[in-house]
C-alpha cells in the first residue's frame, strides 16, 4: 500500500490497451485507515468527457488525487508537438494532470504569467518556458477564446473566465487525461453552462480525455459522454452512453427523472 500524505491508494494500475484506450484499476482508495471506495476499474478513450458524481464524502476528490499521484511517473513523457486528432492513440505513458478546485485568483499574475507558472515543470532554471511551450500556450488561448485576456490580472477575471485560464494550463502542458475537481462550483447558471460547453469542445477538438467531478448533475449530464458514480456504500459504477441516468440514480436514489435542458 502506498501512502501519499493522508491519502492512500492500493496497487493502482494505469496502462494502455489496444493503443486507443487507457485502462485504470485501483483495488481501494481512502484516507488514513478508512476505505472510501473499492474495486475501481474503468477505461478512458481519447476525446471522452466523463462526469464523476457521488454524494459528499464518497471519495470523488480522493479518486482524482489518486489518479493524479499515480500518473506522476508519466509527467516527463515526450511532448506530442501538436494537438492530437480526435480518437488518436494515447502515448505509451499518458500524461495525467489535475486541476484542483478553489485555485485562488492571486492579484499580480497576468493570465500569461498564471499559465507559465502552471508549466513550471517545463521551465528552465530561470523559470522561462521554452518556445515550444509558449507556442502551445498560444494555441490554448486561441482554442479557449481568451487571447484578449492574456495581459489581464487574474484577480479581475470572472469565475468562468478564470476556469478557462485553468484549462489553458492543462492544454499547454499537453495533458492526455485532464482531471478537474468541481470546475463549475460557485458559478452562476450562465458561466456554468459556458464552462461545461468549453469542456465538451476541448475534448472533441483536442482528443484529450477529461474526467470532471460536479454536483451540477442536470447540466453536466447534457455534455458528458459517460458517468462514473461513487455510492455511499463504497461502490464504483461506470456507465455506458445509454445508461448514464440509471447509474446516477444508483448513487442518488432520490434523484428526479428529469435531466435538465440540453446545452
The residue-averaged pLDDT of 146-173 equals 93
219, containing H or E segment: helix 217-221
Q: How confident is the model at residue 256 (pLDDT cuts 50, 70, 90)?
A: confident
Cell numbers found for residue 2: 502506498
Question: What pLDDT sits at residue 257?
Answer: 65
Q: Rounded to whole angstroms, how far apart are CA atoms 115 and 119?
A: 6
Q: Rounded to whole angstroms, how far apart are CA atoms 63 and 24?
A: 11
Q: Rounded to whole angstroms, how far apart are CA atoms 133 and 141?
A: 12
Question: What pLDDT sits at residue 233?
Answer: 94
- Among residues 218, 242, 219, 207, the alpha carbon closest in space to that of 48 is found at 207
What rounded mean pLDDT belongs to the chain? Answer: 82
Question: What pLDDT sits at residue 236?
Answer: 96
Class level of CATH domain 48-251: alpha beta
Are 16 and 92 within 8 A, CB to CB? yes
Q: Is the pLDDT confidence value at 175 over 90?
A: no
Where along the chain do its domains lie?
A: 48-251
The residue-averaged pLDDT of 182-190 equals 91
Summarised one tens digit per residue, pLDDT across range 31-49 is: 777 889 989 999 899 999 9
Q: Is the pLDDT confidence value at 89 over 60?
A: no
Ramachandran angles phi, psi of 179, nearest 5°? -105, 130
Question: What pLDDT sits at residue 70?
Answer: 74
- Among residues 244, 242, 219, the alpha carbon closest in space to that of 229 is found at 244
Summarised one tens digit per residue, pLDDT across range 53-82 is: 999 999 999 999 988 887 553 332 222 223
What pTM was computed for the model? 0.83
Q: Rounded to whole angstroms, how far apart are CA atoms 228 and 42?
A: 9
The residue-averaged pLDDT of 85-107 equals 73
CB neighbours of residue 194 within 10 Å: 19
Summarised one tens digit per residue, pLDDT across range 112-134 is: 999 988 887 776 666 678 888 88
Are 64 and 37 within 8 A, CB to CB? no
Q: Rounded to whole angstroms, how far apart are CA atoms 229 and 238?
A: 6
Question: What pLDDT sits at residue 12?
Answer: 63
Amino acid at each position: 500500500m502506498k501512502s501519499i500524505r493522508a491519502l492512500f491508494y492500493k496497487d493502482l494500475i494505469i496502462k494502455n490497451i489496444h493503443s486507443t484506450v487507457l485502462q485504470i484499476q485501483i483495488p481501494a482508495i481512502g484516507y488514513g485507515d478508512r476505505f472510501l471506495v473499492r474495486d475501481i476499474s474503468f477505461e478512458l478513450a481519447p476525446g471522452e468527457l466523463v462526469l464523476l458524481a457521488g454524494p459528499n464524502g464518497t471519495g470523488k476528490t480522493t479518486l482524482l488525487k489518486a489518479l493524479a499521484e499515480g500518473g506522476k511517473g508519466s509527467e516527463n513523457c515526450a511532448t506530442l508537438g501538436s494537438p492530437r486528432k480526435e480518437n488518436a492513440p494515447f502515448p505509451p505513458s499518458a500524461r495525467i494532470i489535475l486541476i484542483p478546485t478553489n485555485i485562488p485568483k492571486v492579484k499580480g499574475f497576468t493570465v500569461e504569467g498564471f499559465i507559465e507558472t502552471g508549466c513550471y515543470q517545463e521551465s528552465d532554471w530561470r523559470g522561462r518556458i521554452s518556445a515550444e511551450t509558449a507556442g502551445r500556450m498560444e494555441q490554448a488561448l486561441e482554442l479557449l477564446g481568451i487571447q484578449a485576456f492574456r495581459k489581464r490580472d487574474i484577480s479581475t477575471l470572472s469565475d468562468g473566465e478564470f476556469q478557462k485560464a485553468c484549462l489553458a494550463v492543462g492544454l499547454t502542458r499537453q495533458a492526455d487525461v485532464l482531471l478537474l475537481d468541481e470546475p463549475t462550483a460557485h458559478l452562476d447558471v450562465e458561466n456554468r453552462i459556458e464552462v461545461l460547453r468549453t469542456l465538451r469542445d476541448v475534448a472533441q477538438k483536442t482528443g484529450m480525455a477529461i474526467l470532471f467531478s460536479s454536483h451540477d448533475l442536470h447540466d453536466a449530464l447534457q455534455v458528458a459522454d459517460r458517468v462514473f458514480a461513487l455510492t455511499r456504500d463504497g461502490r464504483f459504477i461506470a456507465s455506458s452512453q445509454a445508461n448514464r441516468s440509471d447509474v446516477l440514480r444508483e448513487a442518488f436514489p432520490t434523484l428526479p427523472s428529469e435531466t435538465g435542458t440540453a446545452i
